[in-house]
């Protein structure tokens, strides 16, 4: 099933003024349920405008031409707008700055209460959300969210979104400002959320190593257009494309390029450090010489250095 269906979507800010700025330019996009999509692009490329169309925070300007359908519901249809909003969980940048209630429990309950669920269901969902994000109910439920540490606040904010049990979870740079431990904890939390709560995840990130490690599809935006769309391997190994659109590549791919310049050629489709490590080991031990044409076996979820530093 298709979780997101977007056709001919364009959007301009300050329309019909001299400052008019085209933020989205005729976007066509479908996202399958169950996929983990990373959206990348520079600041101002249209990412956040696109995201806000997904739950009707921004409505298509040209209702006749454009269409945004989420899980079969049209974002232009007023009647389904509320339901649609609960199907798409939005975790904005620095979500801890939107906490407001005097206890963690009340803050997380805000979404479910707005859904008009009965009190038992609300409290059950709060408990479940807290346990998924790793906040102990007895310890945190009655505390003020403003007294928590930065990382804890962010987890409360995320719990507040997933307590609505959205089918689609959208995260805009969820690890911004966190320290390395916080980063790797949060990224594994996102994986867990996909497995347990929201089958479809859309992640905005500037970190190409994270994208290569987590996503099964990468969509690159530039000047409001989709300029690349495919698996991380397809997108990042197409160097002509990444150069042409000025796209950053993962560290592993960059190292491969640097090695190639020095005459050491490795397979072109290396995008994670674990893949790079196996390729290098193979080359160094010379037991099984690799050549550039031979594809690498697909290695499961690596990480960007979160493992032991020996």
Partner 1 sequence: MFKDVTFGQYYPADSIVHKLDARVKLLLTLLYVVGIFFVKSYFGFMLTAVLLVAIVLVAKLPMASVLKSVRGILLLVLITALINLFMIKDGEVLVQWKIFVITKTGVHTTIKMVLRLVLLISGASLLALTTTPVELADGLESLMSPLALVKIPVRDIAMIMSIALRFIPTLFEETNKIVAAQKARGASFDSGSIFARVKALIPVLIPLFVNSFRRADELAFAMDARCYNATDKRTKMKKATFKFSDFVACLTVLSFFTLILLERYYFPKIGINIDYMIFGGLL
Partner 2 sequence: MPFIQLKNVNYVYPVREGASLKAIKNLSLSIEAGEYVALTGMNGSGKSTLAKLLNGLFKPTSGEILMDGVSTADEDKVFDIRRRVGMVFQNPDNQTVATIIEDDVAFGPENIGLPRDEIISRVDEALAAVGMSEYRKRQASALSGGQKQRVAIAGVLAMRPDVLILDEATAMLDPEGRDEVLSVVKRQNQNGVTVINITHSMQEAAMADRIIVLRKGRLAIDGAPAQVFSSGALRSCGLTLPPAAQLAAELKAEGFDLGAVTDEASLVEGLCKLFK
Alpha carbons 145 and 149: distance in angstroms, whole number: 9
301 binds partner 2 (CB under 8 A): no
- For 53, residues 6+ apart whose C-beta sits below 8 A from its C-beta are 6, 9, 11, 24, 59, 60, 68, 75
Taking the complex as a whole, how short is the minimal distance between the CB of residue 90 and partner 1, in angstroms? Answer: 4
Interface region with partner 2, contact rule CB under 8 A, candidates 8-16, 107-115, 124-132, 171-179: 171-179
What is the C-alpha end-to-end distance of the chain, expressed in Å? 44
Residue 284's binding partner among partner 1, partner 2, none (Cβ under 5 to 8 angstroms by kind) is partner 2
Evaluated on CA atoms 206, 211, 215, 218, the torsion sign reads positive
Taking the complex as a whole, how short is the minimal distance between the CB of residue 42 and partner 2, in angstroms? Answer: 6
Contact 99, 107 (CB under 8 A): yes
Interacting residues toward partner 1 by CB under 8 A: 52, 55, 57, 82, 85-86, 88-90, 92, 95, 97-101, 110-111, 114-115, 146, 160-161, 164
Nearest one of 264, 262, 265 to 292, comparing CA atoms: 265
262 binds partner 2 (CB under 8 A): yes
Residue 100's binding partner among partner 1, partner 2, none (Cβ under 5 to 8 angstroms by kind) is partner 1
Tell me which H or E stretch contains 37. Answer: strand 36-40
Interface region with partner 2, contact rule CB under 8 A, candidates 5-13, 70-78, 136-144, 272-280: 272-280
1 binds partner 2 (CB under 8 A): no
306 binds partner 2 (CB under 8 A): yes
Tell me which H or E stretch contains 22. Answer: strand 21-32
Contact 3, 33 (CB under 8 A): yes
310 binds partner 2 (CB under 8 A): yes
Interface region with partner 2, contact rule CB under 8 A, candidates 10-18, 65-73, 76-84, 274-282: 274-282
Radius of gyration of the chain (CA): 21
Nearest one of 142, 141, 158 to 96, comparing CA atoms: 158
184 binds partner 2 (CB under 8 A): yes
- Binder among 151, 239, 241, 245 for partner 2 (CB under 8 A): 151
Which of the 8 DSSP states describes residue 90?
Answer: E
Binding-site ranges for partner 2 (CB under 8 A): 42-43, 149-151, 176-182, 184, 206, 209, 248, 251-252, 254-255, 258-259, 262, 264, 273, 276-277, 280-281, 283-284, 304-310
């Amino acid at each position: 099933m298709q979780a997101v269906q977007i056709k001919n979507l364009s959007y301009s800010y300050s329309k019909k003024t001299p400052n008019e700025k085209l933020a989205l330019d005729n976007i066509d996009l479908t996202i399958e349920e169950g996929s983990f999509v990373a959206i990348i692009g520079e600041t101002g490329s249209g990412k956040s405008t696109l995201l806000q169309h997904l739950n009707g925070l921004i409505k298509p300007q040209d209702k006749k031409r454009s269409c945004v359908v989420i899980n079969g519901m049209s974002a232009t249809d007023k009647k389904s707008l509320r339901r649609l909003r609960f199907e798409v969980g939005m975790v904005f940048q620095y979500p801890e700055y939107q906490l407001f209630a005097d206890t963690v429990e009340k803050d997380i309950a805000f979404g479910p209460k707005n859904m008009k669920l009965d009190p038992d269901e609300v409290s059950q969902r709060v408990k479940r959300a807290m346990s998924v994000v790793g906040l102990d109910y007895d310890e945190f439920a009655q505390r003020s969210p403003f007294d928590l540490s930065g990382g804890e606040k962010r987890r409360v904010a995320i719990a507040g979104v997933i307590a609505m049990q959205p089918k689609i979870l959208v995260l805009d740079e969820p690890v911004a400002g966190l320290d390395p431990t916080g980063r790797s904890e949060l990224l594994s939390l996102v994986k867990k959320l996909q497995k347990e709560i929201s089958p479809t995840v859309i992640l905005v990130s500037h970190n190409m190593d994270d994208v290569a490690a987590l996503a099964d599809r990468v969509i690159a935006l530039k000047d409001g257009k989709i300029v690349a769309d495919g698996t991380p391997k397809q997108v990042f190994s197409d160097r002509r494309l990444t150069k042409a659109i000025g796209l950053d590549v993962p560290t592993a791919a960059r190292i491969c390029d640097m090695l190639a310049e020095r005459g050491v050629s490795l397979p072109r489709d290396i995008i994670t450090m674990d893949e790079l490590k196996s390729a290098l080991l193979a080359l160094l031990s010379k037991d099984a010489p690799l050549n550039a044409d031979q594809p690498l076996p697909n290695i499961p979820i690596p990480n960007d250095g979160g493992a032991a530093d020996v």
